Structure 1
Amino acid sequence: MSSRQVDTPVSQQQTQWLAQCLAVVQTAVVQTQIWQQKGAIACFIWGGLCIISLWIATPLPAFADDYNRDFLVGADFSGKNLIDSSFTKANLRGSNFSHSDLHGVSFFGANLEGANFEGADLRNATLDAVRFTDANLTNANLEGAFAFNAKFGGTIIDGADFTNVDVRQDAQTLLCQSAKGKNPVTGRETRRTLNCD
């Protein structure tokens, strides 16, 4: 056996070993790239799931609804979030708005005869020219509402908060005749919020 013949098998073994090492390294590199891609995809999916779960867990913002001039006699809006919605000149006789969030809502010229607003949030609402005849405003918060020309004949106002509500003098006199109680949320006495003597 010549030295050349002896060297050749060793070189082939080295070449095979080197080829195997290179294959392992290439596999490792490919695996790393795949895992990086999978990692990027996993991060993207995880981020998307976080955004979706946050979107589901977070209450949606209230979108103002337009009920202007609608015929909604006896409708049930109790416990609803109706911020900045509009019920201008709607017929809402006997409707239920108890414990609803009506912050900034416009009821301009609406018929609210016999409607139930017990515990409702009517802060900064537009109540001008509204008919509250025989309505229930028990424990409602009307702070900052504009209620000029509103009709309050027979309205129950026990515990209602009329802080900074703009009403006509004759309406104030009428409301003071039956004003009593304290608002459970604001802690203000109804008579004091109406500036009753």
Structure 2
Amino acid sequence: MNSTTVLHKQILSGLLCLLAMLVSASIWISPAFALDYNRENLLGRDFSGQVLTDASFTKANLRNSNLSHSDLTGVSFFAANLESANLEGANLTNATLDAARIIKTNLTNAVLTGAFAANAKFDGAIIDGADFSDVLLRQDEQDNLCKIAQGTNPTTGKETRETLMCK
């Protein structure tokens, strides 16, 4: 082997070693983004504009939290406290809201298509422009929401009253 070939092999070996060190360092340095917020106290937390698809907030306390304009597709809010939370413009498609406290919650222009919200409490919720297409609700909650339903969702173009199947 000539000296140029040996030098190239040493440079290549050094670069591969450096690359391996950088990769292993990034594994240790990179933050772990937990998607499991079950039973956590998240009072007043700011999750606005985040992509949290398939995360779990089961029995979490999200009172006064900001989840506006977040992608919450497939998220579980089972038995979560969303009292006075801001979900304006959030995508809650196929989310689980069963037994959740959605009291005084801002759902303005939210998309809840296909969400499961049986036994959810919506007392005092703001639902202007929300899309409730194919949402499973208790009949009494649906009737109460129909009393305040108004507006058209800017994302889906559907009227809130129509998506709730109001009479």
Across the two proteins, how many residue pairs are aligned to each other? 153
Q: SS at 1:174's partner residue? A: helix
Q: Give CA deviations for 1:34-64 in whole Å, capped at 9, x if unaligned.
A: 9xx9xxx7xxx9xx9xxxxxxxxxxxxxx77
Q: What is the percentage of aligned positions where both structures have the same residue?
A: 65
2:132 counterpart letter in structure 1: F
Distance 1:78 1:72 in 2: 13
TM-fit CA distance, 1:72: 0.4
Q: Indicate whether 1:137 and 2:107 are aligned.
A: yes
**Alpha carbons of structure 1 residues 177 and 100: separation in structure 2 relative to 1, 3 Å:** same
Q: Indicate whether 1:150 and 2:120 are aligned.
A: yes
The equivalent residue for 1:17 is none
Q: Indicate whether 1:166 and 2:136 are aligned.
A: yes
TM-fit CA distance, 1:97: 0.3
The equivalent residue for 1:79 is 49
1:170 counterpart letter in structure 2: D
1:192 counterpart letter in structure 2: E
Q: SS at 2:162's partner residue? A: helix
Q: Indicate whether 1:177 and 2:167 are aligned.
A: no
Distance 1:160 1:185 in 2: 10
1:176 counterpart letter in structure 2: C
TM-score by length of 1: 0.70
**Alpha carbons of structure 1 residues 156 and 75: separation in structure 2 relative to 1, 3 Å:** same
The equivalent residue for 1:195 is 165
Q: Indicate whether 1:67 and 2:37 are aligned.
A: yes
Q: Which runs of structure 1 show a deviation greater than 2 angstroms over 4 or more consecutive aligned residues?
A: none
Q: 1:90 aligns with which of 48, 60, 66?
A: 60
Structure 2 unaligned runs (5+)?
20-32
Distance 1:64 1:161 in 2: 29
The equivalent residue for 2:80 is 110
